[in-house]
Chain A
Amino acid sequence: MLSSVPPIYFLIVSAVIFAIGAVGVLIRRNAIIVFMCIEMMFSAVNLTLITTSHHLNSLDGVLMVFFVMTVAAAEAAVGLAIFVLLFRGRGTIKVDEINLLKW
Protein backbone atom coordinates (compact mmCIF):
# COMPACT_ATOMS: atom_id res chain seq x y z
CA MET A 1 0.00 0.00 0.00
CA LEU A 2 0.88 3.65 -0.05
CA SER A 3 2.15 4.09 3.49
CA SER A 4 5.81 3.23 3.53
CA VAL A 5 6.80 5.30 6.57
CA PRO A 6 6.53 3.20 9.74
CA PRO A 7 4.04 4.56 12.29
CA ILE A 8 6.79 5.17 14.85
CA TYR A 9 8.08 8.21 12.92
CA PHE A 10 4.64 9.80 12.93
CA LEU A 11 4.40 9.09 16.65
CA ILE A 12 7.82 10.67 17.27
CA VAL A 13 6.86 13.82 15.35
CA SER A 14 3.68 13.96 17.42
CA ALA A 15 5.66 13.56 20.67
CA VAL A 16 8.06 16.34 19.67
CA ILE A 17 5.22 18.75 18.88
CA PHE A 18 3.43 17.82 22.10
CA ALA A 19 6.59 18.48 24.14
CA ILE A 20 7.17 21.83 22.44
CA GLY A 21 3.58 22.79 23.19
CA ALA A 22 3.98 21.80 26.83
CA VAL A 23 7.15 23.91 27.10
CA GLY A 24 5.22 26.83 25.63
CA VAL A 25 2.43 26.44 28.17
CA LEU A 26 4.93 26.46 31.02
CA ILE A 27 7.28 29.27 29.97
CA ARG A 28 5.05 31.82 28.23
CA ARG A 29 3.18 34.43 30.27
CA ASN A 30 0.73 35.68 27.67
CA ALA A 31 -2.57 33.83 28.11
CA ILE A 32 -3.36 33.82 24.39
CA ILE A 33 -0.03 32.17 23.56
CA VAL A 34 -0.65 29.62 26.31
CA PHE A 35 -4.02 28.97 24.66
CA MET A 36 -2.39 28.53 21.24
CA CYS A 37 0.14 26.08 22.71
CA ILE A 38 -2.73 24.05 24.14
CA GLU A 39 -4.30 23.91 20.67
CA MET A 40 -0.94 22.71 19.34
CA MET A 41 -0.87 19.92 21.92
CA PHE A 42 -4.42 18.97 20.92
CA SER A 43 -3.42 18.58 17.31
CA ALA A 44 -0.31 16.57 18.26
CA VAL A 45 -2.53 14.12 20.14
CA ASN A 46 -4.91 14.02 17.16
CA LEU A 47 -1.97 13.03 14.96
CA THR A 48 -1.27 10.12 17.31
CA LEU A 49 -4.89 8.96 17.11
CA ILE A 50 -4.95 9.15 13.30
CA THR A 51 -1.63 7.31 13.03
CA THR A 52 -2.67 4.40 15.21
CA SER A 53 -6.10 4.13 13.64
CA HIS A 54 -4.55 4.09 10.16
CA HIS A 55 -2.11 1.36 11.07
CA LEU A 56 -4.72 -0.75 12.87
CA ASN A 57 -7.16 -0.53 9.94
CA SER A 58 -9.74 1.13 12.13
CA LEU A 59 -11.81 4.31 11.92
CA ASP A 60 -12.48 4.81 15.64
CA GLY A 61 -9.47 7.14 15.95
CA VAL A 62 -10.79 9.31 13.11
CA LEU A 63 -14.17 9.65 14.82
CA MET A 64 -12.45 10.44 18.10
CA VAL A 65 -10.42 13.22 16.43
CA PHE A 66 -13.70 14.59 15.06
CA PHE A 67 -15.08 14.89 18.60
CA VAL A 68 -11.82 16.34 19.94
CA MET A 69 -12.08 19.04 17.29
CA THR A 70 -15.67 19.77 18.33
CA VAL A 71 -14.55 20.22 21.92
CA ALA A 72 -11.62 22.39 20.81
CA ALA A 73 -13.96 24.66 18.85
CA ALA A 74 -16.31 25.11 21.82
CA GLU A 75 -13.34 25.66 24.11
CA ALA A 76 -11.92 28.31 21.80
CA ALA A 77 -15.19 30.26 21.80
CA VAL A 78 -15.60 30.19 25.58
CA GLY A 79 -11.88 30.61 26.36
CA LEU A 80 -11.46 33.65 24.16
CA ALA A 81 -14.61 35.20 25.63
CA ILE A 82 -13.04 34.71 29.08
CA PHE A 83 -9.82 36.42 27.90
CA VAL A 84 -11.78 39.41 26.61
CA LEU A 85 -13.65 39.59 29.92
CA LEU A 86 -10.43 39.37 31.93
CA PHE A 87 -8.81 42.10 29.87
CA ARG A 88 -11.87 44.31 30.34
CA GLY A 89 -11.89 43.77 34.11
CA ARG A 90 -8.20 43.69 35.02
CA GLY A 91 -6.45 45.31 32.06
CA THR A 92 -4.05 42.41 31.52
CA ILE A 93 -4.02 38.84 30.30
CA LYS A 94 -0.63 37.86 31.76
CA VAL A 95 -1.09 34.56 33.52
CA ASP A 96 1.22 35.70 36.35
CA GLU A 97 -1.06 38.58 37.26
CA ILE A 98 -4.32 36.62 37.12
CA ASN A 99 -4.11 35.19 40.63
CA LEU A 100 -7.64 35.42 42.01
CA LEU A 101 -7.74 31.67 42.62
CA LYS A 102 -4.32 31.61 44.29
CA TRP A 103 -4.18 31.17 48.05
Chain B
Amino acid sequence: MTAGSVFYWIIFILTALTAIFAAVMVITRRNPIHSAMFLVLNFLCIAVLYLLLNAQFIAIIQVMIYAGAIMMLVIFVIMLLSVEEEERRRLMRPSPAQVMGVVLVLILFAQLIYGVAVEVLPGDLGEFSPERIAKLGDIKTVAGLLFTKFLFPFEVASILLLVGIIGAVILSKKER
Protein backbone atom coordinates (compact mmCIF):
# COMPACT_ATOMS: atom_id res chain seq x y z
CA MET B 1 0.00 0.00 0.00
CA THR B 2 1.43 3.35 -0.98
CA ALA B 3 0.99 6.55 0.97
CA GLY B 4 -1.44 7.83 -1.67
CA SER B 5 -3.78 4.91 -1.34
CA VAL B 6 -3.72 5.08 2.47
CA PHE B 7 -4.67 8.75 2.19
CA TYR B 8 -7.44 7.80 -0.27
CA TRP B 9 -8.82 5.24 2.18
CA ILE B 10 -8.73 7.69 5.09
CA ILE B 11 -10.59 10.35 3.10
CA PHE B 12 -13.11 7.78 1.88
CA ILE B 13 -13.89 6.42 5.36
CA LEU B 14 -14.15 9.87 6.98
CA THR B 15 -16.38 11.21 4.21
CA ALA B 16 -18.61 8.14 4.09
CA LEU B 17 -19.14 8.14 7.86
CA THR B 18 -19.91 11.87 7.85
CA ALA B 19 -22.39 11.42 5.00
CA ILE B 20 -24.21 8.61 6.82
CA PHE B 21 -24.22 10.56 10.09
CA ALA B 22 -25.66 13.61 8.32
CA ALA B 23 -28.31 11.45 6.64
CA VAL B 24 -29.40 10.06 10.02
CA MET B 25 -29.53 13.56 11.47
CA VAL B 26 -31.73 14.74 8.57
CA ILE B 27 -34.48 12.28 9.42
CA THR B 28 -34.27 12.60 13.21
CA ARG B 29 -34.16 16.37 13.79
CA ARG B 30 -37.41 18.04 14.83
CA ASN B 31 -36.59 21.44 13.39
CA PRO B 32 -36.74 21.46 9.55
CA ILE B 33 -33.96 24.07 9.37
CA HIS B 34 -31.58 21.72 11.19
CA SER B 35 -32.58 18.93 8.79
CA ALA B 36 -31.84 21.19 5.83
CA MET B 37 -28.41 22.10 7.21
CA PHE B 38 -27.50 18.45 7.75
CA LEU B 39 -28.72 17.71 4.24
CA VAL B 40 -26.28 20.33 2.92
CA LEU B 41 -23.53 18.55 4.87
CA ASN B 42 -24.61 15.25 3.30
CA PHE B 43 -24.49 16.77 -0.20
CA LEU B 44 -21.02 18.19 0.41
CA CYS B 45 -19.76 14.77 1.58
CA ILE B 46 -21.20 13.14 -1.51
CA ALA B 47 -19.45 15.78 -3.63
CA VAL B 48 -16.16 14.72 -2.00
CA LEU B 49 -16.97 11.10 -2.85
CA TYR B 50 -17.49 12.21 -6.48
CA LEU B 51 -14.05 13.82 -6.40
CA LEU B 52 -12.60 10.53 -5.15
CA LEU B 53 -14.26 8.87 -8.14
CA ASN B 54 -12.54 11.28 -10.54
CA ALA B 55 -15.77 13.08 -11.54
CA GLN B 56 -14.82 16.69 -10.91
CA PHE B 57 -17.54 18.22 -13.08
CA ILE B 58 -20.31 16.37 -11.26
CA ALA B 59 -18.77 17.28 -7.88
CA ILE B 60 -18.86 21.00 -8.74
CA ILE B 61 -22.40 20.69 -10.12
CA GLN B 62 -23.47 18.87 -6.95
CA VAL B 63 -22.21 21.70 -4.76
CA MET B 64 -23.66 24.43 -6.99
CA ILE B 65 -27.08 22.96 -7.80
CA TYR B 66 -27.93 20.73 -4.85
CA ALA B 67 -26.14 22.35 -1.93
CA GLY B 68 -26.53 25.83 -3.38
CA ALA B 69 -29.66 26.33 -5.43
CA ILE B 70 -32.07 23.60 -4.33
CA MET B 71 -31.31 23.81 -0.61
CA MET B 72 -31.56 27.60 -0.73
CA LEU B 73 -35.06 27.22 -2.22
CA VAL B 74 -35.99 24.67 0.45
CA ILE B 75 -34.79 26.93 3.26
CA PHE B 76 -36.70 29.86 1.77
CA VAL B 77 -39.89 27.79 1.74
CA ILE B 78 -39.32 26.53 5.31
CA MET B 79 -38.95 30.12 6.51
CA LEU B 80 -41.92 31.26 4.42
CA LEU B 81 -44.25 28.62 5.84
CA SER B 82 -42.89 28.85 9.44
CA VAL B 83 -43.75 25.24 10.22
CA GLU B 84 -41.11 24.99 12.93
CA GLU B 85 -43.39 25.60 15.91
CA GLU B 86 -46.10 23.15 15.05
CA GLU B 87 -43.53 20.49 14.40
CA ARG B 88 -41.88 21.11 17.75
CA ARG B 89 -45.08 21.11 19.77
CA ARG B 90 -46.21 17.56 19.21
CA LEU B 91 -44.48 14.51 20.68
CA MET B 92 -43.63 11.95 18.02
CA ARG B 93 -45.07 8.49 18.71
CA PRO B 94 -44.48 5.80 16.08
CA SER B 95 -47.67 4.56 14.46
CA PRO B 96 -48.06 0.98 13.17
CA ALA B 97 -47.73 2.23 9.60
CA GLN B 98 -44.38 3.84 10.41
CA VAL B 99 -43.04 0.68 12.09
CA MET B 100 -44.17 -1.33 9.09
CA GLY B 101 -42.47 1.15 6.74
CA VAL B 102 -39.18 0.82 8.61
CA VAL B 103 -39.39 -2.98 8.44
CA LEU B 104 -40.06 -2.83 4.69
CA VAL B 105 -37.11 -0.49 4.18
CA LEU B 106 -34.88 -2.89 6.14
CA ILE B 107 -35.90 -5.67 3.75
CA LEU B 108 -35.17 -3.35 0.81
CA PHE B 109 -31.77 -2.52 2.32
CA ALA B 110 -30.92 -6.21 2.69
CA GLN B 111 -31.82 -6.71 -0.96
CA LEU B 112 -29.67 -3.76 -2.03
CA ILE B 113 -26.68 -5.06 -0.06
CA TYR B 114 -27.22 -8.53 -1.52
CA GLY B 115 -27.40 -7.02 -4.99
CA VAL B 116 -24.13 -5.11 -4.75
CA ALA B 117 -22.14 -7.51 -2.57
CA VAL B 118 -22.98 -10.95 -3.91
CA GLU B 119 -23.02 -10.36 -7.63
CA VAL B 120 -19.91 -9.26 -9.47
CA LEU B 121 -20.18 -5.85 -11.13
CA PRO B 122 -21.19 -6.76 -14.72
CA GLY B 123 -20.40 -4.97 -17.96
CA ASP B 124 -17.49 -4.44 -20.35
CA LEU B 125 -14.87 -1.74 -19.95
CA GLY B 126 -15.64 1.41 -21.94
CA GLU B 127 -13.30 3.65 -23.88
CA PHE B 128 -12.96 6.51 -21.40
CA SER B 129 -10.07 5.41 -19.22
CA PRO B 130 -8.87 7.79 -16.49
CA GLU B 131 -5.75 8.53 -18.55
CA ARG B 132 -7.82 9.58 -21.54
CA ILE B 133 -10.08 11.77 -19.41
CA ALA B 134 -7.02 13.31 -17.74
CA LYS B 135 -5.49 14.14 -21.13
CA LEU B 136 -8.36 16.36 -22.26
CA GLY B 137 -9.82 17.26 -18.86
CA ASP B 138 -13.03 16.02 -17.30
CA ILE B 139 -15.22 18.96 -18.28
CA LYS B 140 -14.09 19.01 -21.92
CA THR B 141 -14.69 15.29 -22.30
CA VAL B 142 -18.16 15.53 -20.74
CA ALA B 143 -19.03 18.55 -22.89
CA GLY B 144 -17.88 16.75 -26.03
CA LEU B 145 -20.24 13.88 -25.27
CA LEU B 146 -23.04 16.23 -24.26
CA PHE B 147 -23.05 18.01 -27.62
CA THR B 148 -22.65 14.93 -29.80
CA LYS B 149 -23.99 11.64 -28.45
CA PHE B 150 -26.38 13.14 -25.90
CA LEU B 151 -27.54 16.16 -27.89
CA PHE B 152 -31.21 15.16 -28.02
CA PRO B 153 -31.55 14.48 -24.24
CA PHE B 154 -29.78 17.80 -23.68
CA GLU B 155 -32.40 19.67 -25.72
CA VAL B 156 -35.20 17.78 -23.97
CA ALA B 157 -33.68 18.79 -20.61
CA SER B 158 -33.80 22.45 -21.67
CA ILE B 159 -37.50 22.12 -22.54
CA LEU B 160 -38.09 20.37 -19.21
CA LEU B 161 -36.49 23.27 -17.34
CA LEU B 162 -38.61 25.76 -19.28
CA VAL B 163 -41.76 23.83 -18.41
CA GLY B 164 -40.62 23.75 -14.78
CA ILE B 165 -40.20 27.54 -14.71
CA ILE B 166 -43.62 28.11 -16.29
CA GLY B 167 -45.23 25.61 -13.92
CA ALA B 168 -43.74 27.25 -10.84
CA VAL B 169 -44.84 30.71 -11.99
CA ILE B 170 -48.40 29.60 -12.78
CA LEU B 171 -48.74 27.67 -9.53
CA SER B 172 -47.57 30.49 -7.30
CA LYS B 173 -49.54 33.21 -9.10
CA LYS B 174 -52.36 34.72 -7.07
CA GLU B 175 -55.70 34.27 -8.81
CA ARG B 176 -57.75 37.21 -7.64
Contacts and interface: CB of A to CB of B under 8 A. Distances in A.
Interface string A45-70: 01100111111111110110111011
Contact of A59 (B42, B123, B128, B157): B128
A74 B101 contact: no
A65 B46 CA distance: 13
Nearest to B171: A81
A98 to B, nearest CB: 13
A54 B81 contact: no
Interface residues of B, number: 83
By secondary structure, the B interface counts as helix
A39 B172 contact: no
Contacts of B109: 15-16, 19
Interface string A70-82: 1111111110111
Chain A contact-residue range equals 35 or more
Contacts of B26: 20, 24, 33, 36-37, 40
Interface of B: 1, 4-5, 8-9, 12, 16, 19-20, 23-24, 26-27, 32, 35-36, 39, 42-43, 46, 49-50, 52-55, 57-58, 61-62, 65-66, 69-70, 73-74, 76-78, 80-81, 83, 86-87, 94, 98, 101-102, 104-106, 108-109, 112-113, 116-117, 121, 123-130, 133, 141-142, 145-146, 150, 153, 157, 160-161, 163-165, 167-168, 171-172
